[in-house]
Amino acid sequence: MLKGTIKIDGDKSISHRILIFGALSNSKSIIYNLSKSDDVKRTINILKNCNFKIKINKESTTVFKSTVNQKIKKFYCGNSGTTARFMLGFLPSIGISGTLYGDKSLSKRPMKRLLDPLLKMNIKIKKNKETLPIQFYKSNINPINFTLNHPSAQIKSALIFAALSLKKNSIIKDPFKTRNHTENIIKFLGGTTEKYKKFTIKGFQYTVPGDISSASFIIAAAVLIKGSNINIKNVLFNETRIGFIKVLQKMGANIQLLNTRIECFEKVTDLNIRYSQKLKSVTLKKSDILNMIDEIPVFALIACFAKGQTRVNHAAELRYKESDRIKSIVFNLKRCGAKIKETKEGFIINKSKLLYSTSIKNFHDHRIAMMCEILYLVIKGSINNNQNKIINTSFPDFYKHLGDLYE
């Protein structure tokens, strides 16, 4: 069983963003609880290679006022799609030219939806290239009036970072109400989000709340393992990120919110999670998918223990993540005995009796790897602890937290 209290590493999505705002500030900025993930390290390394001075110690990360001075011409993004997309908007706007490239997985992920509006802003990008590596050039950027035609907070934020280099207003509309962390940080720093343009960013102090997407795997283990009762402190509870919690509560999971408050324009809460024996199935709505897209792998595992038939649809975006997550989820759960059927935009699951199979695979995808590790823990009753490298992409403390809680 899992017992005890933990504090989760800083939210990965916010960590990328707050680092870039630190680089744009006019004096020293101090960030607490920054994500230690490999993805965020990619963003840090690119900023350092543009001469931004960043000092990391145990308690905080400090970003110093710096003069842009390009040190290299090729910028490595690893497996981080967030890094790649943000930098395509940010780097040309601060006078940097170069090439963004990534690992094998990232090099397959489509970039056209971002490249089209960036080209409209006059950002110079080598044409006929819709995947990494992508060559770009410092650009005289134009303002834009753009409405997202696809739900992507990364595209929205990349355009905002480009717009923040201009004295003229840009209008960037988001009818899908995707993650609004960039907008919340701008408000925290004294800017406006009705229209985007350059504003003075003073040095700041910011505490990154715990990553709800990382927490979801620990939550799943507590919900599924008999006798569990845990607390997770300081978890991000932004309305665009809590689909997973809301859906689990609807399924009958024992999850309580404690001490919910606002910190740095973000809602934060403490969670109490207990073993939940009588879970019931659910059909996810399109809005549910949007607000829990990263949690779908571990949600699928939980659905195997829910009475009835669970349906996931409108999730085609999962096919363009670090792996084709629909195929990865179905492959692994089916190997372990799940009654699961793949559909064009998701899958259907009936309550199943699972048995662990050594033939399951992580597909080089950190969230699939963590789903498999929670599956191992639930079925085998012990911590597997053999996928550190891929899991470090997003959640380096995954095994540590499981070890601290497991009795």
Q: Which active-site residues does the annotation give?
A: 294
Which one-letter amino acid corresponds to residue 302?
Answer: I
Distance CA 60, CA 92 (A): 28
Distance CA 86, CA 150 (A): 17
> Which of 176, 304, 193, 317 has the alpha carbon at shortest distance from 240?
176
- Sole residue written with tokens 């349906």: 311
